[in-house]
Chain A
Amino acid sequence: MTAVPSIACLGVIGKNVYTSSTIKNPLHISIFPSQPGNKPVRTPLQFSLILSSTLDIFEARSKANVSTGGGLSGDFGLLHAIDERLAAYGFETNTGVRFVAVVDMRGRIVGDEAARSQVTGLREGEMKLVFRAMQTAYVRLLQNPFYDPDEHSPPAGKGGKKITSRKFTEDMKRLGETWAPGLATL
């Protein structure tokens, strides 16, 4: 029996919700247990704090990116390794919306058979697929005429609502449950 990485938490953070390094309200958080029936490795509050802590890193990195003139791809790669199990990866769109994926490095237990066909650990760029899928879901959300972006990320920065779209929530759920390292498509 071997453990392969799985997604423990997916977060979407709108712009303007960033006040003194705590998230007032992230647009969306999905938390996944490593196996159906298991408890997630952290509580929702702890995940919320992990998401908050990534914001400073986003901030610092984007400043660094501006000065070096690179990093327009949006992929921030590994933001920080929280402990020996959890690691946070980030992506920022050009409009300032941030996607965070917290990966549980020993998340899913697979049989030896399956493990042999999979690479252990995570390779560089492996999370691109996840962020691409999150971005696609977010684009689809924005295309819904009844979704009002200003309501969720108000220019004043306070009182934004969470994403309530059923489709988007389902997309995140499917993404978190099906993703595994080495997948070519989702």
Chain B
Amino acid sequence: MASSKAARIGEEVWKSRVDKVNAELVTLTYGTIVAQLCKDYESDYIEVNKQLDKMGYNIGLRLIEDYLAKSNTMNRCSNFRETAEMIAKVGFKIFLNITPAVTNWTSDNKQFSLIFDENPLADFVELPDDGRAQDELWYSNIFCGVLRGALEMVQMQVEAHFISDVLRGNDSTEMRISLIRYIDDEMPVDDD
């Protein structure tokens, strides 16, 4: 029920409140960033992953505000499952017009996977054929940072990483997200 509601919100916001931009502009811009990072770090892909994650984190910190304003959801998600639905069906929908599938929950409801059947960032991409990129580079790693940054701003500390990518020859592109803890709001000391 919550899931279809989220899908409806996502659709509505995407249609009425989002400025659209040419997809190739996005793809090429992101591609250039990744390719340049690979060059700058002399194909140290582990470091490239880290940098992408950092960039994403800085995007996430800002993006969440825009997300909250556009989606008009003033109430908090009641649990992590609802958060996951909102990320997939509203967040990804309004910013990229995709809705990754939410699956593979652990029994304690603290870990889930996002499965991307389409990924606008990775259109046209073929990883460098140097024998290492296929095993080390997570091309779309910026997403992990975005989620980490955005959720941190709404009092959730999460850890996100990719576990498979079609660019590497895997069957699907899957990101694993784990909730570490809810960050308590620090209350100001009472004056009275």
Contact = CB atoms under 8 A, between A and B. Distances in A.
Interface of A: 140, 143-147, 164-167
Contact of B125 (A145, A164, A166): A145
A165 B126 contact: yes
B28 interface: yes
A144 B125 contact: yes
A143 B124 contact: yes
Interface in B1-55: 24, 27-28, 30-32, 34-35, 38
Contacts of A164: 129
B35 A146 contact: yes
A166 to B, nearest CB: 7
Nearest to A143: B124
B123 interface: yes
Q: How large is the interface on B (under 10, 10 to 19, 20 to 34, 35 or more residues)?
A: 10 to 19
29 contacts: A140-B124, A143-B24, A143-B27, A143-B28, A143-B31, A143-B123, A143-B124, A144-B31, A144-B124, A144-B125, A144-B126, A145-B28, A145-B30, A145-B31, A145-B32, A145-B34, A145-B35, A145-B125, A146-B31, A146-B35, A146-B38, A146-B126, A146-B127, A146-B128, A147-B126, A164-B129, A165-B126, A166-B126, A167-B126
Nearest to A164: B129
A147 B128 CA distance: 8
Q: Chain B's interface: helix, strand, loop or mixed, by majority?
A: helix
Nearest to B130: A146
Nearest to B137: A146
Contacts of B31: 143-146
Contacts of A147: 126
A164 B130 CA distance: 12
B167 to A, nearest CB: 10
A146 B48 CA distance: 14
A26 B125 CA distance: 23
A130 to B, nearest CB: 21
A147 B35 CA distance: 9
Interface string B159-178: 00000000000000000000
A181 B24 CA distance: 33
Nearest to B128: A146
A27 B35 CA distance: 22
B75 to A, nearest CB: 41
A186 to B, nearest CB: 19
A140 B28 CA distance: 11
A147 B28 CA distance: 12
Given A143-B24, A146-B125, A164-B129, 20 more contacts: A140-B124, A143-B28, A143-B31, A143-B124, A144-B124, A144-B125, A144-B126, A145-B28, A145-B30, A145-B31, A145-B34, A145-B35, A145-B125, A146-B31, A146-B35, A146-B38, A146-B126, A146-B127, A147-B126, A167-B126
